[in-house]
């Protein structure tokens, strides 16, 4: 079972470690984090289906936010369903950048979605993003790495978005998705294909936007550029009803409906992901505050 510990240096800070029973190694790591006061030991999984047995120390600020991207390395990050970071994802001027192929959702061998490979449960995520002209991407959360078997008996990795709600990242003025869906529910900061962001306050392509996502005991809030733009509640009859009215309905996509209806799995936790939708996009200042 994963446990979250809070230690104090000069102020309270969150330490995430995967531990069981009297695991002395993890206890020592937690003790080291307590002594440092400004770092946390975070467990992560290095590949598909791997347990969170690897750890890295990450900085935590006075408000308890853990920096999960240091602007220089992909420590703790990897491709969804992979054991490495796909080559289309690079680090540029302190940002994570996806170098677009122009192929939309038809990901090539060197692309694919990117995840921070630690499962979060109750948290606040803050980051900044900017998109290219006509660009599309997304921020996914509570994601699972889902596999299935094809008709030839080969194991395949299902797409990340069938298990994870998506905070839409979009150039509203130039991408056709902005006019699809219903009531603008595919525009920036919307819960993709389900709830529109109101007010719609995204900045134009090429400018930085600030995203905030809070998940706490089933309540989810999306924020954009300093304003809360939507709220919804997972694992409720209302959530199920929304799914049934979306592209992820039980009739249209049974597997997606089943996974999203029990979003986060039995433990109600999952990965944070950044979407490869084939277009140039940049992310920076990525930090998470654990709310457990």
Q: Return the higher-pLDDT residue of 1 and 129.
A: 129
Measured between alpha carbons, how far is 229 from 222 in angstroms, rounded to an integer? 6
Position 140 scores a pLDDT of 98
Of 193, 274, 267, the residue nearest 235 (C-alpha) = 267
**228 and 198 Cβ atoms separated by less than 8 Å:** no
pLDDT in tens, 217-230: 999 999 999 999 99
- Tally Cβ neighbours within 10 Å of residue 164: 29
DSSP assignment of the chain? -EEEEEEESSSEEEEEEE--TT-HHHHHHHHHHHHHSSEEEEEE-SSTT--S-EEEEEEB-TTSEEES--SS--TTEEETTSSS--TTEEEETTEEEE---S-TT---TT---EEEEEEESSEEEEEEEEE-TT-EEEEEEEE---EEE-TTS-EEEPPGGGTS-EEEEE-TTT-GGGGSSSTTTTSTTSBTTTB--SS--PPPTTS-EEEEEEEETTEEEEEETTEEEEEEETTSHHHHHHHHTSTT-TTT-HHHHHHHHTTTTTTT-EEEEE---SS-EEEEEEEEEE--
pLDDT in tens, 66-124: 999 999 999 999 999 999 999 999 999 999 999 997 666 666 779 999 999 999 999 99
- For the chain, list the domains and their CATH numbers: 58-290 (2.60.120.560)
Position 105 scores a pLDDT of 66
**41 and 30 Cβ atoms separated by less than 8 Å:** yes
Position 101 scores a pLDDT of 76
Query: For the whole model, what pTM was predicted?
Result: 0.87
pLDDT in tens, 123-179: 999 999 999 999 999 999 999 999 999 989 999 999 999 999 999 999 999 999 999
Quickly state the pLDDT bin for 292 (edges 50, 70, 90).
confident
Measured between alpha carbons, how far is 137 from 99 in angstroms, rounded to an integer? 12
Interhelix angle 237-244/254-261, nearest 10 degrees: 160
Position 32 scores a pLDDT of 42
């Amino acid at each position: 079972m994963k446990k979250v510990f809070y230690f104090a240096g000069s102020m309270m800070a969150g330490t995430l470690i995967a531990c069981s029973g009297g695991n002395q190694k993890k206890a020592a790591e937690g003790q080291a984090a307590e002594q440092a006061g400004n770092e946390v030991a975070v467990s992560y999984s290095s590949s598909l289906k791997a347990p969170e047995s690897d750890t890295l120390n990450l900085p935590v600020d006075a408000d308890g936010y853990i920096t999960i991207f240091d602007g220089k390395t992909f420590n703790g990050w990897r491709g969804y369903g992979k054991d490495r970071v796909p080559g289309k994802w690079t680090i540029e001027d302190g940002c994570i950048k996806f170098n677009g192929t122009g192929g939309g959702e038809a990901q090539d061998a060197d692309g694919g979605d990117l995840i921070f490979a630690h499962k979060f449960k109750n948290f606040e995520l803050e980051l900044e993003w900017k998109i290219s002209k006509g660009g599309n991407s997304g921020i996914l959360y509570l994601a699972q790495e889902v596999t299935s078997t094809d008709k030839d008996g080969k194991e395949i990795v299902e797409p990340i978005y069938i298990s994870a709600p998506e905070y839409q990242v979009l150039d509203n003025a130039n991408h056709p998705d902005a006019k699809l869906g219903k009531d603008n529910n595919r525009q920036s900061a919307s819960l993709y294909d389900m709830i529109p962001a109101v007010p719609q306050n995204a900045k134009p392509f090429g400018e930085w936007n600030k995203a905030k996502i809070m998940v706490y005991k089933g309540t989810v809030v999306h924020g954009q550029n300093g304003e809360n733009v939507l709220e919804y509640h997972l694992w409720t009859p209302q959530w199920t009803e929304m799914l049934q009215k979306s592209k992820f309905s039980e009739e249209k996509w049974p597997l997606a409906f089943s996974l999203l209806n029990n979003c986060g799995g039995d433990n109600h936790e999952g990965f944070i992901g950044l979407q490869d939708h084939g277009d140039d996009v940049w992310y920076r200042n990525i930090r998470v505050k654990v709310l457990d």
